[in-house]
Amino acid sequence: MEKGDVYFSVHRGLTSPKPHFCIVVNDAAGSGRRVVLTFATSQLETRLAIARRNHYPKETLVQIAPSQYEPFDRLTVIDCNSVQVDDASELEANLKAVHAKKKPKLPQSILDRIIRGIHASPRSTPEMLKLIGPPPPVTIPALPKRGLKITVK
């Protein structure tokens, strides 16, 4: 189980019996390791309302368009205030038991936004933050050079 792995599966930690996209946020190779998981939902308005009501930072809701990650067929949100930590061995056994479907790896740029969102969440535990590591730096694209001429008088 590696950082960025995505599974379409039911999960015992969710209230819905329907399958969801489960995203592995940390590297969890080997048995006995802990896995940090986030879940994708299309319930954008509900998640926005909860975040507003609880005064969560806007960075904790990561919106992903279908053009950014092909398996998503509609605008999807990752609520970084609803993160779970599971035992890797138990999770692997559960995913196998429910015949989870592995999806393409999440792009690093989206994973970076999720990690920053977890760091911004007041609900994140020290264990979660230690498992996912430091937040990646925010990269700002360079402005194009305009060929300005500076004259000194």
Look at residue 89 in the predicted model and tell me its pLDDT.
Answer: 84
Better-predicted residue by pLDDT, 144 or 148: 144
3-state secondary structure string across 41-68: ECCHHHHHHHHHHCCCCHHHEEEECCCC
Burial status of residue 26 (CB atoms within 10 A of its CB: 0-12, 13-18, 19 or more)? buried
Can you tell me the distance from the alpha carbon of 49 to that of 152, in angstroms, rounded to the nearest whole number? 55
The pLDDT value recorded for residue 5 is: 94
Beta-carbon neighbour count of residue 119 at 10 Å?
A: 19
pTM for the model stands at 0.84
**Rounded-to-integer distance, Cα 112 and Cα 38, Å:** 13
Lowest mean pLDDT of 5-14, 79-88, 143-152, name the range: 143-152
Report residue 31's pLDDT band, with 50, 70 and 90 as the boundaries.
very low
Taking the C-alpha atoms of residue 132 and residue 41, their distance in angstroms, rounded to an integer, is 21
Taking residues 127-134, report their average pLDDT: 92
Confidence of residue 91 (pLDDT cuts 50, 70, 90): confident
Over residues 110-120, mean pLDDT: 96
pLDDT confidence band for 109 (50 / 70 / 90): very high
pLDDT at 15: 61
